[in-house]
Structure 1
Amino acid sequence: MGETPCVSLLKATKTPKYRARIVALKEGEDDYEQPLSPGARFFHEPGYNVYIIAQMGVKDPIDVDELKANIPIILDKYRCFSRLAVTDKNGNMRWVPTRVNVDDHVIVPKIDPNMESADKFVEDYISNLTGSCIEYSKPLWDVHILNTKTSNGQGTYVLRAHHSLGDGMSFINLLLSYSRQASDPKALPTLPVNKKSHHHTTRVTNFISFCMVVWNTLVALVLFVFTTMFLKDTETPMKASNGVEDRPRRIVTRSVSLDDIKVVKNAMDATVNDVIVGVIQAGFNRYLNRRFGENNKPVPENIRLRAMISYNMRASTNVEAPSSNAVNEHETWGYKVGYILLPFNVKYRSDPLDYVREARAIMERRKASLEPFATRFYAKLLIEKLFGMKVAGKLNRKVYYNTTFCFSNIPGPKQRICFLGQEVTYVAPSLYGIPSALMIHVVSYVDKVTFILSADEETIPDPQKLCDDLQQSLQHIKCSVLAKPCVEN
């Protein structure tokens, strides 16, 4: 059984050199060896060694033996977890199959039953993990089992995996495919679908709308290209300094009521995503006013503050039950995203509802464009036709350094779910190793929306206060709506 990993610098790990063949799973499986996709290769470039780290709370203590018994079943379907990332003599990287020793990947640390705060222990444990990396001598994932009673349940899974294995939606679908609705053990979970906010539903109804889509796409692409070269956000206390990708992070969560968000959504004819973006804008205004005030400085006028968003390019997000066949990784797994640069207006507004109105206007412009498709094409053009991986990797990191934070809004299951027979109380995915001081994931689950902040404490020493600002901003916006029952009419 594994032990708690020691801390090592993220940038220190190197991939093993490729030799003729690593251990094959079966005789004659040579076609299973594959080169890394350009998207996956990005995550092995210097300064961009990114890991997904996800918490999942369960109602009862976790049965470690049952988990170990199920892992080979999962590996048989998702074979990317049975591969090594290796480098050949020419510097090319390939996925090479190997046999997996489950005990090397399931970590069960010894826990003091008399600890003062189990919640603080889990938070500190995860923070410690964000300063370490997984050795390339084994597949790049592990699962940490923390069987201690917290405010969210009796046990906590902590899944850590290198981002080159797949994007966020890949991992969400893996989790949900092995889950069932708590109320119906035979039914798969379902995800909410908001067609109004989906880029794939961008419609061209006439010549004017066609021109608007073309124009918005062109403007977005030009701004993205400029950002890879020189266009920077305003220097604020939230802006990262050099070396941020190699520092440990503090990951904190805060849950709010989904009904509160829907009250605002319905009153203002907006989407849930519009409201969330408005809440973040208002929360950032509160946070920056406090941080600048600590140094007796006014908040600068006309702050340029943008989020880097990875946008899911899959045509479908349906949850599929696992079968006896391995997944078709070219279609359902891997790294299939485009990029969006989303501006956030953090000016003070006397009417809190203005933050949501502005967010709705910004999102409407994004929906009337093909920005993620254009930026994905631009990234592939840089890699395959113009400069190659090294230059493209540097430009990619520059986008993160020139913007302020990363943002992701992931719809979670509408029903309570059970994973391997255990009821899940919350799910909180995040990242570390990114060249940004702040990453905000927003995940819905049943009647809650959870903000997950991954913060560099050197830049943002008080991420819990930022959570307070987000929560209070939602309450102010909701109170403003209740005070004006006919907001838009």
Structure 2
Amino acid sequence: MGSLENGSDEPLTPMGRLFLQKEMNQVIYCAFGMRQPLDVDALKLAIQNCPMFMHPRFCSLLVRDSAGREHWRRTRVDIDRHVILVHGPIAEGLSDEAAVNEYLANLSTDLPGLMGDDKPLWDVHLLMAHQCMVLRIHHALGDGISLISSFLGGSRRVDDPEAVPTIGPPSSTRRRRSDGGGEWWKAVVRVLEVVWFTVVFVVELVLRIMWVSDRTTPLSGGAGVELWPRKLATARFSLEDMKVVKSAVANATINDVLLGIISFGLFKYMDQQSPNAVREGTRITGVAIVNLREQQGLQELSNLMEGNPGLRWGNKFGIMPLPVHYSRSCGDPLEYLRKAKSMVDRKKKSLEAHFSYKIVDMAMTYLGAHVASLLYYRICCNTTFSISNVFGPQEEITFGGNPITYIRANVSSLPHALTMHMVSYAGRADMQFLVAKDVIPDPDFLAKCFEDALLEMKAAASTAPNSKK
């Protein structure tokens, strides 16, 4: 155990405590492919100098007081205890991608391997034979936005070794916020829309917590599924292809395209694997993770590191149930995008994500962490899948002097049998599918369904009348 430094303990945030409950014990896994063989000493030095690992959360032990409440206590970090070297191939006869995915899938069910009171709740696995660095970080330390921002603060661009990377969503995804002006009555209509959609969607959210659930499909999970063995697969998308599809539907965003791909891909998978097992019009609901920070990117890194209360470190996100409806008769692939955009536009007019954050926060304050975790757990049990999307660097980057070839992320198991996490990087986007293998035995085929869905949507967009050539 590292020797403790003098100073008062700091209590965990409410969301941090949520992720320590057994129902929601979440660990984030992020894999970085490296172009060159791993230099262990160079990577250790880069880790020690990286803003993320210098943050107080990463230099603190998780301790509990006599009342059982959790606190952070500063300690000295022994880097050698946090860096785990994995020599030799993960399994014989597997490609690097398949081997890394197998390692991550096995790691996702090994939660006790990270928990303990003798060192901070993170470690780094260096897969030497596969030129891959895996970060394993407990979700109590922070969410995807704060973690990716701080980690990339310790990286540099390949084309300019003195410059930090540029991250954040394309400007088009923020365009709608800047659209404004007009007569006073339009402002009144917008306010009324916000109130109406907020009430409707918050009521639906509460009903999801209580008893309303999706019908059983070949993708369904449920209580206890988070403990089942996992498999992991990767779907690879071109951001340029996604932009072509986006241009075919007015005012669509990359996130709209992503949801269109998800609905089209899931239906393709079910039609192939379990034809006639799902009734026409069946509702399949995903849980989307929504960032609630005003900014995301390296522009907020200094504020996060300095503890600015408006941009506090930790977990600041809400959830937004996203329903899609199964349909065999949709001949135009772009119809999936149009339906997704229509639904997301209504969701964006509401404050549902903010209310979901407040509901959990109030439950933590007045009812305790266990009750709050059960509320979140119930939502997961009553829906079918979870999805998140994090915008990564726009340029190729290096870490420890070694160019990074891909960035992929996922989290440990939820009651869902299917969790999806997409990270964009240098014009590409990789989506990880973590599945319960007893429910979805062939996640590679599922990944192919998603890749084919984008290609079919691109082909349709190329001939659409309003497509921008």
Pick from 372, 380, 387: which aligns with 2:361?
A: 380
Taking structure 1 as reference, are residues 198 and 245 closer, same or farther at Cα in structure 2, changes over 3 Å only? farther
Deviations 1:387-433 (A, max 9, x none): 22221211110001101111011112111111222111110011113
CA distance in structure 1 between the aligned counterparts of 2:363 and 2:451, rounded to whole angstroms: 41
Answer yes or no: is 1:98 the counterpart of 2:75.
Answer: yes
Question: What is the RMSD computed on CA atoms of the aligned residues?
Answer: 2.5
Taking structure 1 as reference, are residues 112 and 381 closer, same or farther at Cα in structure 2, changes over 3 Å only? closer
Taking structure 1 as reference, are residues 247 and 176 closer, same or farther at Cα in structure 2, changes over 3 Å only? same
TM-score w.r.t. length of structure 1 = 0.87
Using the TM superposition, give the Cα deviation of residue 217 of structure 1 relative to its aligned residue in structure 2, in angstroms: 0.9
CA distance in structure 2 between the aligned counterparts of 1:317 and 1:413, rounded to whole angstroms: 12
Matching residue's letter, 1:423? P
Using the TM superposition, give the Cα deviation of residue 376 of structure 1 relative to its aligned residue in structure 2, in angstroms: 1.4
Shifted more, 343-352 versus 464-473: the winner is: 343-352
2:146·2:304 contact (CA, 8 Å) conserved in 1? no
Taking structure 1 as reference, are residues 224 and 196 closer, same or farther at Cα in structure 2, changes over 3 Å only? farther
Q: Secondary structure at the match of 2:410?
A: strand
Using the TM superposition, give the Cα deviation of residue 252 of structure 1 relative to its aligned residue in structure 2, in angstroms: 1.6
CA distance in structure 1 between the aligned counterparts of 2:53 and 2:242, rounded to whole angstroms: 40
Using the TM superposition, give the Cα deviation of residue 482 of structure 1 relative to its aligned residue in structure 2, in angstroms: 2.0
Matching residue's letter, 1:127? A
Where do residues 175-194 of structure 1 align in structure 2 (5 Å cutoff)? 175-194=151-170
Using the TM superposition, give the Cα deviation of residue 113 of structure 1 relative to its aligned residue in structure 2, in angstroms: 10
CA distance in structure 2 between the aligned counterparts of 1:213 and 1:88, rounded to whole angstroms: 43
CA distance in structure 1 between the aligned counterparts of 2:346 and 2:384, rounded to whole angstroms: 21
The aligned residue for residue 251 of structure 1 is 232
CA distance in structure 1 between the aligned counterparts of 2:227 and 2:120, rounded to whole angstroms: 21
1:238·1:437 contact (CA, 8 Å) conserved in 2? yes
Matching residue's letter, 2:234? T
Q: Secondary structure at the match of 2:134?
A: strand
1:195·1:201 contact (CA, 8 Å) conserved in 2? no
CA distance in structure 2 between the aligned counterparts of 1:437 and 1:115, rounded to whole angstroms: 27
2:90·2:100 contact (CA, 8 Å) conserved in 1? no
Answer yes or no: is 1:230 the counterpart of 2:206.
Answer: no
Q: Secondary structure at the match of 1:47?
A: helix
Taking structure 1 as reference, are residues 486 and 378 closer, same or farther at Cα in structure 2, changes over 3 Å only? same
1:442·1:452 contact (CA, 8 Å) conserved in 2? yes
The aligned residue for residue 442 of structure 2 is 462
The aligned residue for residue 272 of structure 2 is 290
TM-score w.r.t. length of structure 2 = 0.91
Pick from 307, 310, 324: which aligns with 2:289?
A: 310
2:241·2:458 contact (CA, 8 Å) conserved in 1? yes
Q: Secondary structure at the match of 1:427?
A: strand
Matching residue's letter, 2:285? R
Answer yes or no: is 1:128 the counterpart of 2:81.
Answer: no
Q: How many pairs does the alignment contain?
A: 455
Matching residue's letter, 1:473? A
Question: Which 5+ residue runs of structure 1 have no aligned equivalent?
Answer: 1-15, 17-21, 150-154
Matching residue's letter, 1:56? F
Using the TM superposition, give the Cα deviation of residue 329 of structure 1 relative to its aligned residue in structure 2, in angstroms: 7.1
Where do residues 408-423 of structure 1 align in structure 2 (5 Å cutoff)? 408-423=388-403
Q: Secondary structure at the match of 1:381?
A: helix
The aligned residue for residue 21 of structure 2 is 45
2:244·2:458 contact (CA, 8 Å) conserved in 1? yes
The aligned residue for residue 339 of structure 1 is 319
Shifted more, 229-238 versus 317-326: the winner is: 317-326
CA distance in structure 2 between the aligned counterparts of 1:324 and 1:238, rounded to whole angstroms: 41
1:199·1:370 contact (CA, 8 Å) conserved in 2? no
Pick from 60, 63, 72: which aligns with 1:83?
A: 60
The aligned residue for residue 452 of structure 1 is 432
Pick from 256, 259, 274: which aligns with 1:274?
A: 256
